[in-house]
Copies of this chain bind each other. A is one copy, B any other.
């Protein structure tokens, strides 16, 4: 979605020039989720914001609409635009999640997120072990090979990692699980990939991935569940390390 991924291989990947309203939504959105704009506070008026950003009021309004749709703000005539309390935020919206992780999410939030992953993803793996088809196993196997060949230090290996987990979710045959885990997994993985300082690279948990694959291939739901939990545990430790490494 957001083209955060910088593949230096490609000569000049079409940047898909970001539109103004999108940029402004991100500016205001990150200000909110990072706490720079406190819940309950009133944002500057639309005309003032338009002046600040050097755009027309229409653009500001479209950005506002995007934020309101994500439960971050609420606008009323004569009142202005108020930052909503945190419990209204759509924290599982992929973009909101991205904004949270682009900054430094609180340890408690990270803990909550991995608590949720510990609930959902092992269950998804178990379902996948029960409902898998040959096609799913083929994509998983292929992705696993690619991961092993390129390692997670290359963008090809990272793509393969994503593909592997996406294939598991697809195999679970539950579109809601796909929706939920995909956005979470994506946000967290990109964070890990990009924020790690060069001297402490995350290791390749290739053995654990293979264990998960084998469990699913053999239809062993319980083993799949445990393998998934093991992988999430690794991811949690690495995410915490990556976030601590920031400034």
A38 to chain B, nearest CB (A): 17
Give chain B residues whose Cβ lies under 8 Å from the Cβ of A175. Answer: 86-87, 91, 109, 112
Residues A123 and B119 in contact, CB atoms below 8 Å apart? yes
Q: Which residue from chain B places its CB closest to the CB of A69 in the assembled complex?
A: B69
Q: Which of A147-155, A176-184, A186-194 forms contacts with chain B?
A: A176-184
Q: Which of A4-12, A57-65, A214-222 forms contacts with chain B?
A: A57-65
A145 within 8 A of B: no
A119-B123, A120-B119, A123-B119 known; A92 and B62 CB under 8 Å?
Answer: no
Interface residues of A in 156-186 (CB under 8 A from B): 174-180
17 pairs from A and B in contact (CB 8 Å cutoff): A61-B62, A62-B65, A66-B66, A86-B175, A87-B178, A87-B179, A89-B179, A90-B93, A90-B94, A90-B179, A91-B175, A91-B176, A112-B176, A115-B174, A119-B119, A119-B120, A119-B123
